[in-house]
Structure 1
Amino acid sequence: MTQPQTPKSARTILLIEDDPDAAEYLRTLLHVYKFRVIEANGGKEGLRLARQQRPDLIILDIMLPDMDGFQVCNTLRKTEESKQIPIIIVSARDQVHDKVFGFELGADDYVTKPIQEEELIARVGAKIRRAEENFATNFLIQRGALRIDLYAHKVFVNEEELPIKTLELYLLKYLMENEGLVLSRAQILDNVWGNDSNVNDRTVDAHIYSLRKKHRVISNAIETVYGGGYRFRTPETEG
């Protein structure tokens, strides 16, 4: 049997599946094709792992014990850390309306059980390669002297690299991508932290404060709009 082409180096798959037999089958199949697999048996755990581990692709079941898989898909697409990760829904539900709903929520593919092994692996490899190609062409965000290199996960003012944590980077990215718009704290929480219930308006303020301390260019670029939220203005290029 000819094996479909997979990425040259090991890629990480997040498998969100509550059925032990199905999870074991998929895990074994993915290991055969040299993928690294991390697993969650529920939606909430899957969302946490997606944020923390940033896998290369997510395989998602619909029927989960704590959250509907469609809700998980929707949340993944609304969360900054996971919005670009390819999602393949693998489910026994084969009705057209289920497939359409999955695609509307942002799934990249929908595979019905029973699984055709070579087809699934080919789809996984293709989605990862396409995501990497898209990411490689869209990894740089620059506004004046301020630059984010998403590929390297670094932030620069001109050529000076700034120390930055993951959530700070995603917060800065969200502000820069919405340059000139007043963003409420609720909008920022929804788009950067997703469904994390342990955060509030003060979380946003604390992270903005931390960003401003990084460099005066960032401090000058992030404007507080009283009663509204925050607005990003392109900083002047430093000489």
Structure 2
Amino acid sequence: MAENSKTKKGFRRYTILIVDDDPSIVTLVKQLVDQEKYKVISTDDGESAEAIIRSRCPDLVLLDINIPGKNGLEVCRSMRGDKETQNLPIIILSGRTEQVDRNLGLEFGADDYVTKPFNSQELLLRVNNVLKRVYGSQARNDTLTQGVLKVDFGKHEVRVKNKIVQLTLTEFKLLSSLLDNMGQVKTRDYLMEHVWESGEGVFSRTIDTHIQRLRNKLMDAGKYIETIRGVGYRFKI
């Protein structure tokens, strides 16, 4: 739990880190998330963002790409490469509106990508959706074993031949979606909608890239994920 999160009568006060060098954006987002009584901390550069993430453990990061020092994509990649922060929810806020930029942000491990100028209520909805998905009280807690693969959904732990495999949050959601529909072919559109929720700005190449990384990380269990040419993917032993 984050340093500033509180639990009282079932209510958790989430801490959100805003990383943006535009004071007007920071003020706007602070006012917006204050509607939900979230605690907000902010900074304006990549290096301090990483330091705050590691020292204060926020529940979610709203991350601009064009910030001084390390840019947002570099920060995102750094967080995904650290086992202590690899599951930290990250939503990119960016003035880059091209599809290739959206796709790149998601490939670097962001959970969502929102372009500026943004609709305030839409941003709040996306923040709440990500928080609910990651920290929701109805989280799955069972364990599933298929061949050499074992997944503990409660712990977000994946093992292959009893060796722990480190997955990002997106990779874990992708694997979970395939396992929930074992033996069924799921289209790329289905995976876009269920893994990234909105699916906005996600290309087929993004799905293919994540599938390939997931297969590589799963080692001997990677072969369980089959490509159905022209359609999508399925998990089958």
TM range (shorter): 0.5 to 0.7
Amino acid at match of 1:27: K
Relative to structure 1, the CA distance from residue 94 to residue 67 in structure 2 (aligned partners, 3 Å threshold; closer, same or farther) is: same
Q: Say yes or no: does 1:132 pair with 2:153.
A: no
Counterpart residue type for residue 46 of structure 1: A
Alignment of 1:80-99 (within 5 A): 80-99=83-102
Mapping of 1:164-183 within 5 angstroms?
none
Q: 1:37 aligns with which of 35, 40, 48?
A: 40
Report the alpha carbon displacement of residue 35 of structure 1 after superposing the two structures with TM.
1.0
Alignment of 1:99-138 (within 5 A): 99-133=102-136, 136-137=139-140
Letter in 2 for 1:117: S
Q: Is the deviation greater in 128-137 or in 22-31?
A: 128-137
CA distance in structure 2 between the aligned counterparts of 1:130 and 1:8, rounded to whole angstroms? 16
- Deviation string, structure 1 residues 185-208 (Cα, Å, up to 9, x no partner): xxxxxxxxxxxxxxxxxxxxxxxx
8 Å contact kept, 1:18–1:41: yes
Determine if contact 1:59/1:89 at 8 Å carries over to the other structure: yes
Q: CA RMSD in A?
A: 3.4
Aligned pairs, number: 151
SS at match of 2:54: helix
Work out the CA distance in 2 between the residues paired with 1:66 and 1:139: 42
Alignment of 1:124-203 (within 5 A): 124-133=127-136, 136-137=139-140
Kindly indicate whether residue 16 of structure 2 is the aligned counterpart of residue 13 of structure 1: yes
Q: 1: CA distance between counterparts of 2:137 and 2:106?
A: 19
Please name the residue that 1:230 is paired with: none
1:137 Cα deviation from its structure 2 partner: 3.8
Could you say what secondary structure the match of 2:85 adopts? Answer: coil
Where structure 2 has 5 or more consecutive residues not aligned to the other structure, the ranges are 1-9, 144-153, 164-237
Mapped to 2, the partners of 1:138 and 1:56 lie a distance apart of 20
Query: Which one has a bigger Cα radius of gyration?
Result: 1
Q: Distance in 2 between matches of 1:99 and 1:121?
A: 19
Q: Which residue of 1 aligns with 2:62?
A: 59
Q: 1:138 to 1:62 in 2, by over 3 A?
A: farther
Structure-2 residue corresponding to 1:170: none
Cα separation, 2, equivalents of 1:65 and 1:32: 29
Counterpart contact for 1:50–1:81, Cα < 8 Å? no
- Aligned AA for 1:67? K
Residue aligning to 1:78: 81
Q: CA deviation at 1:26?
A: 1.1
Q: Distance in 1 between the 2:129 and 2:80 partners? A: 19
Give 5+ residue unaligned stretches, structure 1.
1-6, 141-149, 152-172, 182-239
The alpha carbon displacement at 1:81 in A equals 2.0
